[in-house]
Amino acid sequence: MNIRAIIFDLDGVICFTDRYHYQAWKQLADRLGIYFDEKINNRLRGVSRMDSLNIILEQSSKEYSEEEKSIFAEEKNGIYVKLLNQMSTSDLSDEVRETLEALRAAGYRMAIGSSSKNTKLILSRIGLAQFFDAISDGTNITRSKPDPEVFLKAAEMLHERPENCLVVEDAKAGIQAAYDGGFYSAGLGEAAGHGHVTWPIKEFSDLKRLLIS
């Protein structure tokens, strides 16, 4: 094992924007008269915007055209971006910041691998705009997790092979993507229970124990 780089999912790993996603989808669903709750919202974790919309529209008796769906997705994103402007450096925990700094000091290259198209905005709001060596996100991929594309592109940006990279995820779809792409993985939360996770971890700071001798 020769891990030289780390690829982090963003939401649920580096920071938490779940409540903003939920509020934005809820506003859209309420306007369309579609039932939406926390249980449905949990199915959207790690899923692209359009795939998330299609999951929500399963509750609708009406069929919508692709053009209408695109409008809905942009409406949701507009609400979400406004909510994201409430974020600040206080949304980056001391644990995450200190762990990232320790990993950087230990010589690891680091990237973000997220399906979010708002990755750069979020990183800017929490004070990490210039921290990562590469950002692979929803603006440069065509397939969302569990497809490994976002991680493969991050590894390519880092000029590293998958077998030399560790993916850090909190969603099972992300662990599956890492496994299918040939990456090592560390799983937080529900991701720790995935059958193919390399290392289940309880806290973000466990990465120091795992990677720094």
Note if 91 is an active site residue.
no
CA 16 from centre of chain: 10
The C-alpha atoms of residue 87 and residue 81 are separated, in whole angstroms, by 10
Active-site position among 11, 137, 147, 170: 11
Out of 9, 137, 147, 170, pick the active-site residue: 9
Which is it for the CA torsion 89, 100, 93, 182, positive or negative? positive
- 147 part of the active site: no
74 by Cβ neighbours in 10 Å (0-12 / 13-18 / 19+) ranks as: exposed
Count other Cβ atoms within 10 Å, centred on residue 180.
16
- Residues marked active site are found at 9, 11
